[in-house]
Structure 1
Amino acid sequence: MPIGVIVNSLAVFFGGLIGAVLGDKIPERTRTALPLTAGVASMAMGVNLILKMNTMPAVVLSLILGSALGELIKFEKGIEWCVGRIRGPIERIFSNKGTVDNQKEFMEKFVGIVILFSASGTGIFGALKEGMTGDYSVLLAKSFLDFFVAAIFATALGYIVLTICVPQFAVLICLFFSASIILPMTTPSMISDFTACGGMIMLATGFRISGIKAFAIANMLPALILVMPISYLWTTFVK
């Protein structure tokens, strides 16, 4: 029973719902400040994960190759297209459309939190750990953070934030059921490098959410697929 996966997705759903309902009642200054705080928190978590790195060349190479692959397949553009398709119907259903009208700013924030919720190193590792051992403590801890972050961003972006629970659940449940296949083939070194790679993406996500630099973070995601094989090859044949 994927308890952690379910709880994490419900946390995003209800956090987004509560934030959207309260959006008009929260002062503009607070709506502006809280996403900046969430961005800093993402950067701090990213730095913490990066410190777990075992093989720096393998992680850096994975990030470069993964980003190149993401740019070639235009992964972020695909996500933005999907968001554009669902934004209209969601705004027609609910009267609260959020306070961000600029399309570019909206996409920068929304895609950023999609990655933060669905593809963070903590979420991926937590789903794998629960699937392998039944321990959902990592995802439970992540759920508390996700609840408040979803609420924070829903005050500005509206009800569309609660739809993030769908891709998040899809990603985490796939990892949960594939854990028994993936984890036995890994080593502590591979897990450390995978975690560090996720940390780099979370750091870039924090910069994007805070409005400092709009990294194409969705295009970096293929690095998470490449990093463990490259880490293994590097430690086996190079290091």
Structure 2
Amino acid sequence: MGTLINVGAIIIASILGVIFKRGLPEKIQKSIMLVLGLGLIALSLGWFLKDFLIVNQDGISTHSDLLIIISLVIGVMIGEWIDIDMRLNRWAENVEKKYNLPPLAKGFIAGTLIFCVGAMAIVGSIQDGLYGDITTLVIKSALDFITAMILASVLGIGVIFSAFSVLIYQGSLTLLAMTSTDILSIEMIKAVSMVGNILLIAIGFNFMEIKKIKVANMLPAIFIPILYYLVISLF
């Protein structure tokens, strides 16, 4: 249920954003992307540090350092080999041509990454599946509504297609949580969230045009911690 609310929020917000886009000067669009990128970096860094740092009587230590680095390296190797970024762009371009749509690749990819790889998407979906608690996903829906409207006002109608990515991704996580409660652990969820937040920081750099990063090619990194914890659970 929580995922359906989230999907609906993104669709409605994207339509509103496209309507607003018509009267938005290019100068303002660029400024919006700049501050959106800056805000995304700040928020994602805070979420990352919340899980990464462990504060106790002995001082401050870190959590899952090596796993995060290995996940990113292996993930980007897989992503570059498959070239997920190129395939997503090619798919979006084919849809544009087939249905005579305006450019949607950038909006679709940006929306998919922002709405799917954050900590709230993972934790909220699992809470929905385990306990039927949609509170986190409802809060995420409100945040995604604002973000989708801003993104669509700058990047166009492509953002609305990211709603289908959210449906598949969060829906799958919810079903997994409902059927596989014994394989999920707090450590696994934290590790996946930390890797996801690093990807969000990379998206922020893209929005600010500091450096062009193919974040889609980093997506497999999110699944490496899951594989790691599944393997060690067997021994």
TM-score (norm 1): 0.83
Q: CA contact under 8 A between 2:108 and 2:162: conserved in structure 1?
A: no
- Tell me if 1:76 matches 2:74: no
Q: Report the Cα distance in structure 2 between the residues aligned to 1:129 and 1:228, rounded to whole angstroms.
A: 17
Alignment root-mean-square deviation, CA: 2.4
CA contact (8 A) 1:207 1:214 kept: yes
Is residue 85 of structure 1 aligned with residue 132 of structure 2? no
Which runs of structure 1 show a deviation greater than 3 angstroms over 4 or more consecutive aligned residues? 88-92, 106-110, 231-237
2:125 to 124, 127, 144: 127
SS at match of 1:185: coil
Cα separation, 1, equivalents of 2:35 and 2:175:
34
Instruction: Say whether 1:20 aligns with 2:29.
Output: no
Which of the residues 67, 73, 81 maps onto 1:64? 73
Q: Which one has a larger percent helix, Structure 1 or Structure 2?
A: 1
Judged with a 3 Å threshold, the aligned counterparts in structure 2 of structure 1 residues 137 and 126 are, in CA distance, closer, same or farther, namely: same
Deviation at 1:223, TM superposition (A): 1.2
CA contact (8 A) 2:106 2:155 kept: no
1:25 partner SS:
coil
Alpha-carbon distance between aligned partners in 2 of 1:89 and 1:33, rounded to the nearest angstrom: 32
The answer for the alignment partner of 1:36 in structure 2 is 34
Show CA shifts across 1:131-188 (max 9, x none): 1111111111111121111111212222222122112211111111111344431332
Q: Is the 8 A contact 1:91 1:159 kept in 2?
A: no
Aligned to 2:162: 164
1:216 aligns to 2:211 (yes or no): no
Aligned residue identity for 2:200 = M
Structure-2 separation of matches of 1:235 and 1:44:
34
Q: Which residue of 2 aligns with 1:147?
A: 145
Give per-residue Cα distances to partners, 1:172-206, cap 9 Å, x unaligned: 11111111344431332222222111111111111
- Note closer, same or farther for the CA distance 1:231–1:209 as it changes in structure 2 (3 Å cut): farther
Shift of 1:46: 1.7
Aligned position for 2:205: 207
CA contact (8 A) 2:107 2:156 kept: no
Distance 1:62 1:55 in 2: 10
Residue identity matched to 2:112: V
Q: Is the 8 A contact 2:125 2:170 kept in 1?
A: yes
Amino acid of the structure 2 residue aligned with 1:17: I
For 2:106 and 2:12, locate their aligned partners in 1 and report how far apart those are by CA, in whole Å: 22
**Unmatched runs of 5 consecutive residues or more in structure 2:** 53-62
* 8 Å contact from structure 1 (residues 197, 223) kept in 2: yes
Distance 1:167 1:233, change over 3 A: closer
Cα pair 1:117 1:146 within 8 Å, conserved: yes
For residue 93 of structure 2, what is the amino acid of its counterpart? Answer: G
Partner residue of 2:3? 5
Q: Which runs of 5+ in 1 are unaligned?
A: none
Residues of 1 paired with 2:36 and 2:8: CA distance? 19
The residue type paired with residue 72 of structure 1 is W
Query: How far apart, CA to CA, are the structure 2 residues paired with 1:62 and 1:79?
Result: 22
2: distance between equivalents of 1:10 and 1:128? 19
Larger CA deviation: 13-22 vs 75-84:
75-84
Would the aligned equivalents of 2:122 and 2:193 in 1 still touch at CA under 8 Å? no
Tell me the CA shift for residue 16 of structure 1. 0.7
* Alignment partner, residue 56 of structure 2: none
Q: Which residue of 2 aligns with 1:118?
A: 116
Aligned residues: 224
Supply the AA of the counterpart residue of 1:20: V
